[in-house]
Structure 1
Amino acid sequence: MKKSLALLLVAALLLGVFALIGCNKPAGTDAQQLSVCLIVPYSFGDKSFNDSALEGAERLKEDYGIKLNTIECKNEGYKQNMMNAAEENDFVIPIGWEFSEIKSVAEEYPDTKFIWIDNVVDGIESSPNILCITYKQNEGAFLAGYIAARMSQTNAIGAVGGDDSEVINDFMTGYEQGAKYANAGINIYTNYAGDYENPQKGKFCAEKLHQKGADVIFQVAGNTGNGVFQAAKEDGFYAIGVDQDQKISASEYDDVIICSVKKEVGNSIYDTIRAFIEDETWDGGQNRVCGMDEGYISIAYGNSESKQQISEDLKNDVAALAKKIAGGTIVVESSK
């Protein structure tokens, strides 16, 4: 009888301990009740920036069971689409500068959390339901420029931008610095398509740069950049991809894409919402800057099935430079 009583007391004590542990553990969020809406200004299918964001959101759905919605604005109705999304979702994630009216929308929907990708709200500190995420794309572009200059046989390289904007020019600044780090006498030519959804414009821009002698051309133009790859394949020069590993996402151009600047948009979205789900962490009212030191910016060379145009020695040199950038030994210039 005494033994049975002792066992009961031990069991009760253990239950009490477990209960205390449970009280100290964050409650977390029921992910299956969480609704997330991803909004892009044009459409998905660019094989780079927008598709990277979608990949991260889809992993959240697969891993945590969130409800995922998407909106393609088709170049119109940016504010209205944000408002529509805020009516029905816990998180609204607009991708790109086109959603500049996000602050006024967030004020109308204080219970909805907004994650603005690649841009910063003026006076972000006064918007607790907005988190801005920006990237040190100049760091990855530095490595792309270094590779381009080392790979060039004509002493001329190029870059095609989607538009003449702050983020694109940040790429251009890093690209030029990296190229000159490799070869101070390299010729660098750039132009802007003025469009992110027109491969024909990208092709035309790349052809113009190639006519000037550029035999390695970096594309920073979304779906328009796929035209750069087309020109490279037809005219016989090399190209560098952006945002995703485009030797994989645009594998039909694997023979001309030598590498890509990976900008882990999808991972930054995934990590932000995962932290909210698991720890109820929300860093609203600030700008989070993602760089090479955190693994959000890198150079990608495809997979084991991809054609490798870059030598192992050059890859090793690039890896060494990446460590210096991440560690602060090399400071990459920025246009911001």
Structure 2
Amino acid sequence: MGPSTSSASLASGARPSGTWRCAIKRLREPRPAPRALDRLVLTRNEKEDNIAGLPRESSEAARRVSMVLANLPRVAAISLVAVAIAACGPSSSGTATSKWKIALMSATGTLLDHNFSQYSWEGAKKGAADIGAKDPATVVPKDSTDYDKDIQTFVDAGYNLIVTVAFDEGTATTKAAKKNPNVTFIGVDQSPICVDEQGNADSTFACKGDASKLLPNYSSLWFEEDQPGYLVGMVAASISKTGVVAGVGGINVIPPVVRYLQGFELGAKSINPNIKVETSYVTTSDFTKAFNDPVAGKVLGAQLISQTHADVLFQVAGKTGNGVLDAACAANVFAIGVDVDQYLSYPNADPCIVTSAEKHLSNAVEAAIKSVNAGTQKPGDSLFNAA
């Protein structure tokens, strides 16, 4: 039993090795009364060695969650470390022995988001250390008008391995890869790489060109987010007392966000077909508000709790989503984190975080950098899932 067989939308063919594993850690109960349900974390952190199912005293619904989790593959773990902002320039620490000069452009607005950008950066730092390169230079674009300029600044400074971290940075990365064939690009969450028959970024999204052949210097890492979304949906339905759970996305034009929330709803309904799943988006157009406005996230989270009586909130909104977690804690209901183990990355919400749907960005970025160095990284789209 597993998420990829529970819904037609989750079916897939052969894929790279598994991206998620499920570790169990004791639930910190946000209410005074204890519960039997242990805290589930979809993670591969090294400190979590007690991989197991749910306790026997859990309900039948929770037992079904356990069966799914027990069948996910165990994958070598990578522990997380504390971070600090890197200047937009090479690190002065250590002696580089690699030919690669690595740079990273974060998602709009922030690098230290306790989430997507931060853990992609962690992976880039780990990858750099693995191959003997200096710590990556970083830049934080204020909005999409900075993308082309910031990438070009890296190119002009001689960086030859550039990581860009956001779906909406894909067009700028595609253009830069076309213009600079001697620079290697890794995009996170930028699939599909959409190009025309000449390898140019295709704004019509006809995608008639084969990016893997036309842009051999560009690889995109993407994930089947509906799979961990499905699992945390099962958890949400298992612990909800009101019969209402909610998913909060940053913006509805980002495919990974939509996939997470689709999986969440399917997973919840697999446990309780009658459960009500509220899906809301912070915005439909403003990327900064979508992922870098925790105040907006907290307001929306509080509204969902008060107006719909949702007692489990799943956030898929980056730093904005941290506000959703805060709203859940303030209302003494459960919260579910995203992308990374937010119990570790966002301790402010530890009292109410019951689980996180993690795709282990740091591991994926680190592995890609090592593959580039070894000459084995394949151009085009690289898909990761739980298989």
Aligned ranges 1:72-151 → 2 under 5 Å: 72-75=140-143, 76-87=145-156, 88-99=158-169, 100-120=171-191, 121-122=193-194, 123=209, 124-125=211-212, 126-151=214-239
Shift in Å, 1:31: 5.1
SS at match of 2:98: helix
Matched letter for residue 62 of structure 1: A
The answer as to whether partners of 1:50 and 1:95 remain within 8 angstroms in 2 is: yes
Shift in Å, 1:133: 1.1
Aligned-partner Cα distance in 1 for 2:258–2:124 = 27
Matched letter for residue 98 of structure 2: Q
Shift in Å, 1:151: 0.7
Matched letter for residue 375 of structure 2: E
Aligned-partner Cα distance in 1 for 2:234–2:155 = 43
Shift in Å, 1:102: 2.0
Aligned residue for 1:258?
354
Post-superposition CA distance 1:267-303 (Å, at most 9, x none): 11111111233x322312x20001112xxxxxxxxxx
Could you tell me which of 105, 108, 111 is aligned with 1:39? 105
Aligned residue for 1:179?
268
Aligned residue for 1:199?
294
Deviates more, 1:260-269 or 1:143-152: 260-269
Could you tell me which of 45, 54, 67 is aligned with 2:121? 54
Matched letter for residue 80 of structure 1: K
The answer as to whether partners of 1:49 and 1:222 remain within 8 angstroms in 2 is: yes
Matched letter for residue 167 of structure 1: P
Aligned-partner Cα distance in 2 for 1:101–1:57 = 20
SS at match of 2:182: coil
Post-superposition CA distance 1:182-222 (Å, at most 9, x none): 11000000111122100011011111211211000000000
Aligned residue for 2:257?
168
Aligned residue pairs, count: 262
Shift in Å, 1:245: 0.5
Could you tell me which of 335, 339, 344 is aligned with 1:248? 344
The answer as to whether partners of 1:140 and 1:174 remain within 8 angstroms in 2 is: yes
Instruction: Calculate the TM-score normalised by the size of structure 2.
Output: 0.66
* Cα distance change on mapping 1:149 and 1:38 into 2, 3 Å: same
Runs of 4+ in 1 over 4 A off after TM superposition: none
* Cα distance change on mapping 1:157 and 1:130 into 2, 3 Å: same
Aligned-partner Cα distance in 1 for 2:312–2:361 = 25
The answer as to whether partners of 1:48 and 1:243 remain within 8 angstroms in 2 is: yes
Aligned-partner Cα distance in 2 for 1:92–1:103 = 12
Q: Which has the higher helix share?
A: 1
The answer as to whether partners of 2:128 and 2:369 remain within 8 angstroms in 1 is: no
The answer as to whether partners of 2:326 and 2:348 remain within 8 angstroms in 1 is: no
SS at match of 2:105: strand
Deviates more, 1:54-63 or 1:256-265: 54-63
Matched letter for residue 249 of structure 1: S
Quick check: 1:159 aligned with 2:247? yes
Aligned residue for 1:69?
137
Aligned-partner Cα distance in 1 for 2:337–2:190 = 21
Aligned-partner Cα distance in 2 for 1:273–1:62 = 10
Aligned-partner Cα distance in 2 for 1:37–1:113 = 11
Instruction: Calculate the TM-score normalised by the size of structure 1.
Output: 0.75
Matched letter for residue 66 of structure 1: A
Deviates more, 1:124-133 or 1:57-66: 57-66
Taking only the aligned residue pairs, the percentage that are identical comes to 27
Aligned residue for 1:287?
381
The answer as to whether partners of 1:140 and 1:262 remain within 8 angstroms in 2 is: yes
Q: Which runs of 5+ in 1 are unaligned?
A: 1-29, 294-336
SS at match of 1:162: strand
Aligned-partner Cα distance in 2 for 1:109–1:276 = 16
